[in-house]
Amino acid sequence: MASRPVVGLPAAEQRRPGRPRSEQADQAILSAALDLFAECGPDALCIEQVAARAGVGKATIYRRWPGKEDMLLDALGGLRTQLPVPQGRSVRADLIALLNAICREAADPRRARLFALLQGEGTRYPRLMARYIETVVQPRRDVVAAVLRRGVATGELRENTDIEAATFLLNGAVLASMYGHEPTDSRYARRVVEELLRGLAAR
């Protein structure tokens, strides 16, 4: 016999039939998916591998996602960059702090491998690339651009500063260091910001 709603309780509090989802299992699956993605790419990754790495059954995964691409979309959605909140006292200091955080993330081997694989497989898996841009790349661009716009408004930067170009230059410097094997540490972040501001600082 089907269970009936409990009279007097809101719909959100009604007990749904079946076993409730485990947050711990969700996180184990998504973490395993990212690890395997970084190790072998999306083509070679299979549900059986993820289930074994996460310590769950395949049915547990299929109850949550219809296939591996949907699972990877959720996994990539959790890769949110932990950026410091700009303090607003100095454009230079805020940009150095932001770029330093981005450099630390770029030094993470799993993150670097994920990005490299997505760059190579982006045309074949456009939904995965779009999700990565949405959750990782665009938030970086937005916060850096906001600091640069503030610098123009306060007179720290030139009025004709090309915000979009400057944003790409800062983020591109991190990517260039990854492929050129430059140490992406706080000294590198400071060097990049100082050089950029030589051209953008108000005279």
What is the per-residue pLDDT across 92-140, written as a single tens digit (0 to 9) for each? 999 999 999 988 888 788 888 888 888 777 788 899 999 999 998 899 9
Mean pLDDT within 152-159: 94
pTM over 0.75: yes
**Range(s) for CATH 1.10.10.60 in the chain?**
21-77
**Alpha carbon distance 141, 169 (integer Å):** 11
Return the higher-pLDDT residue of 8 and 70. 70
CATH 3.40.47.10 fits 91-200, yes or no: no
**Alpha carbon distance 143, 184 (integer Å):** 20
**Range(s) for CATH 1.10.357.10 in the chain?**
91-200
Cβ-Cβ contacts under 8 Å for 181 (sequence gap 6 or more): none
Full DSSP string of 96-127: HHHHHHHHHHHT-HHHHHHHHHHHHHTTT-HH
pLDDT at site 172? 86
Q: Residue written as tokens 């600091």?
A: 147
Q: Which fold has domain 21-77?
A: Arc Repressor Mutant, subunit A (1.10.10)
What is the per-residue pLDDT across 52-101, written as a single tens digit (0 to 9) for each? 999 999 999 999 999 999 999 999 988 877 889 999 889 999 999 999 99
